[in-house]
Amino acid sequence: MNPEGTLEDQVKAAIVRCLRMPIAPDEIQPDMPLFGDGLGLDSIDALEIVLELQRSFSVVVSDEQMGQRVLKSVRTIVDFIEASRVEPAGG
């Protein structure tokens, strides 16, 4: 097994780390909304997460519409990273 855990675990850890959240990564449910009634994040947090995803996972969230789709939950972020990794390089 991967020493850093699953991609889902890595995403949770990255969110907690970049936002300096006072919770353990495993307290974040995969389908918990990151904004609003879920974790209660805001647009500044969204920007931090986008930058963290770029640094840690080499994926780019190119615009606000994509961000709204991708940053719904940990699961949507994981799906986005996995989809980005299977696209042909330089395509």
Q: Taking the domains of the chain in order of start, what are their residue ranges?
A: 7-86
Average pLDDT value over all residues in the chain = 92
Which contacts qualify for 68-74: CB closer than 8 Å, 24 or more apart?
A: 71/34, 71/35, 71/46, 72/33, 72/34, 72/35, 73/30, 73/31, 73/32, 73/33, 73/34, 73/38, 74/8, 74/11, 74/12, 74/15, 74/28, 74/29, 74/30, 74/31, 74/32, 74/34
Digit-coded pLDDT (tens) for 29-39: 999 999 999 99
Average pLDDT score over residue span 16-41: 96
The token pair at 41 is 């994040």
Digit-coded pLDDT (tens) for 49-82: 999 999 999 999 999 999 999 999 999 999 999 9
pLDDT top residue among 73 and 88: 73
The fold adopted by the segment(s) 7-86 is: 1.10.1200
pLDDT at 3 over 70: no
